[in-house]
Structure 1
């Protein structure tokens, strides 16, 4: 047939196996242009070679079929951006797994990070906050979006940020636990609540605090900081008087060994 290739020749041109071609046909990703009703021979259009090679490249890169389906028909520029976003997620996942493997393979003789804890006074502050119940998969996106929403509302209101971004964990956040989590920014000036943004007054008090670099703050290492702060509070004969929080000092992309985040716990 003019302009058409039998499945075997099509497979050779695209470096796809017969099994892969059948799977992609069943998934609707790469459907033969014609199937002979008598012989069952499958014919592909020559114009499908480019699409088949693209699917093959995406699969060899490790992209799941469901994601390939979303990406393959996008215009070239949008497809490149979608692939870049997917790969950034893969690298984040590999980084997290590398940290876990390092923890699991570390010998008993290798000391964990030592966290120095101190007590500090916290002034009375007005906070603009947003709170949500969510699981760990949604946490990073929520913090990022809530911080942008809070800072944008402060700017539009003519108010001034008066301190570091604070993420308060009022409950456990895991694959099963859903918090709640509160993102908060101290501010000065006048602001009205809007949408899901609320204003809360933080009373003056004291909190135990330890500072971590970005490297130390990678999960699950940050859990050791919470343990250290809690143990220090108990050892000092103090009481845990509220929910623990993380106070962000720098962006994630800064020097991995520079001070990045504080883990704090209010005490009474």
Structure 2
């Protein structure tokens, strides 16, 4: 079979020799023959189609590692993989569009949301908690999983006595990993049982701890399921913080999201969560 020089192949595939050498190193497009002495590359004519596919996928800003997965698949599965990638791109773009609107409103001093800030006194209680260092894109998977684990484990501590919440001890974002802490209130008598809790306060559940949270007052705003999504939820946190500042109050603990409704059964417009700060 006649082989094409890297120059001829570059012209036919519309990929530069530099790109061809990069794709060779990454295993995306290996030449048919490489001269062992000079390192010069030759390609088969039937590799042109694959090269053009790689070039098209790069125009979609598809990462090279993802391209390697797509081109290794047969036609139908490759098409499905491309569809999954593009769906993910569109979802991330939609989130960024909302974030851009949020940042614009913040810079201009405008707000597209009006919130009613309320306060509530919460008595001292014992909570079963799971703490984790994680980034914002990991929260949607971790929160329901952690609350599920803690709710199931609560039976060993006398059962659940209140709604679950997630406390943020530091910023959780694309570059900041918290930590965050999922908490489920449990019966105090069970938490004091030495059969259930080790002497150092570690719960009988791997990775979880039992601790007493002091009585405190919370300033909070109630939001819908749609508003829980990032970055919409940021405006709720900021609204509560601004209200606290205007009242001359002090934030005394980590902010939190309190989940009081059945998430799966709720519609986008149903109220499901309180965004709250302990105050003093």
Matched, 1:226 2:257: no
Q: What is the CA–CA distance in structure 2 between the aligned matches of 1:224 and 1:182, rounded to whole Å?
A: 21
Q: What is the CA–CA distance in structure 2 between the aligned matches of 1:119 and 1:246, rounded to whole Å?
A: 14
Q: Cα 1:242–1:45, aligned 2, differ >3 Å: closer, same or farther? A: same
Q: Is the 8 A contact 1:168 1:181 kept in 2?
A: yes
Q: How does 1:125-144 map to 2 (within 5 A)?
A: 125-134=125-134, 138-142=135-139, 144=141
* Structure 2 spans left out of the alignment, 5+ residues: 197-202
Matched, 1:95 2:107: no
Q: Is the 8 A contact 2:258 2:273 kept in 1?
A: yes
Q: Is the 8 A contact 1:33 1:45 kept in 2?
A: no
| Matching residue of 2:275 | 263
After superposition, what is the alpha-carbon deviation per residue over 1:166-190, rounded to whole angstroms, capped at 9, x for unaligned? Answer: 1211223345544332122234567
SS of corresponding position for 2:207: coil
Q: What's the TM-score once normalised by structure 2's chain length?
A: 0.70
Displacement after TM superposition at 1:122 (Å): 2.1
Q: Is the 8 A contact 1:250 1:259 kept in 2?
A: no
Matched, 1:212 2:211: no
Displacement after TM superposition at 1:112 (Å): 3.0
| Matching residue of 2:169 | 170
Q: Cα 1:86–1:251, aligned 2, differ >3 Å: closer, same or farther? A: farther
Matched, 1:152 2:149: yes
Q: Is the 8 A contact 1:169 1:243 kept in 2?
A: yes
Displacement after TM superposition at 1:204 (Å): 3.4
After superposition, what is the alpha-carbon deviation per residue over 1:25-58, rounded to whole angstroms, capped at 9, x for unaligned? Answer: 2433101112467995622274x56754653453
Q: What is the CA–CA distance in structure 1 between the aligned matches of 2:209 and 2:43, rounded to whole Å?
A: 62
| Matching residue of 2:57 | 58
SS of corresponding position for 2:237: helix
SS of corresponding position for 2:44: strand
Q: What is the CA–CA distance in structure 1 between the aligned matches of 2:25 and 2:216, rounded to whole Å?
A: 63
Count of equivalent residues:
261
Matched, 1:241 2:252: yes
Q: What is the CA–CA distance in structure 1 between the aligned matches of 2:58 and 2:176, rounded to whole Å?
A: 34
After superposition, what is the alpha-carbon deviation per residue over 1:2-30, rounded to whole angstroms, capped at 9, x for unaligned? Answer: 7x666647975xx6535554442243310
| Matching residue of 2:30 | 31
Cα RMSD of the aligned pairs, angstroms, is: 4.1
Q: Is the 8 A contact 1:115 1:228 kept in 2?
A: yes
Q: Please, which of 202, 217, 220 is the counterpart of residue 213 of structure 2?
A: 202
Q: What's the TM-score once normalised by structure 1's chain length?
A: 0.72
